[in-house]
Amino acid sequence: MDMRTFAILYHLLKTVTSLSSTEIVDVKEMVAMFLHILVHDVKNCVIQREFIRSGETISRHFNLILLVVVRLHDELIKKPMPVTNNCTDPRWKCSRCA
């Protein structure tokens, strides 16, 4: 993920859901920990070392961001559009030829 995509996700989470920083962890750090856990499939103890936070703090903020992302599923996940019979797009031509 590049910095622009991270910034867009951060802005979306902060503005749409009114997610705010805690005394201990900033929203950017929460999102970074969340994405790092998902992308690299690492355990809590690895994140503890890398972000210098307790396991409870990491777990609490991971679950908070997960809950926010689940609430935003309508904005984050695009629903597929069905292909109609009169579609002229050549990508779908072969699927109707059978």
Q: Where are the domains of the chain?
A: 3-76
Q: What is the reported pTM? A: 0.76
Dihedral over alpha carbons 3, 23, 68, 57 (to 10 degrees): 90
User: 5-52: per-residue pLDDT in tens?
Assistant: 999 999 999 998 888 999 999 999 999 999 999 999 999 999 999 999
Region for residue 19 given its phi and psi (left: phi exceeds 0; alpha: psi -120 to 50; beta: otherwise): beta
Split at pLDDT 50, 70, 90, the class of 94 is low
pLDDT digits over 46-90, tens only?
Answer: 999 999 999 999 999 999 999 999 998 888 888 888 877 777 777
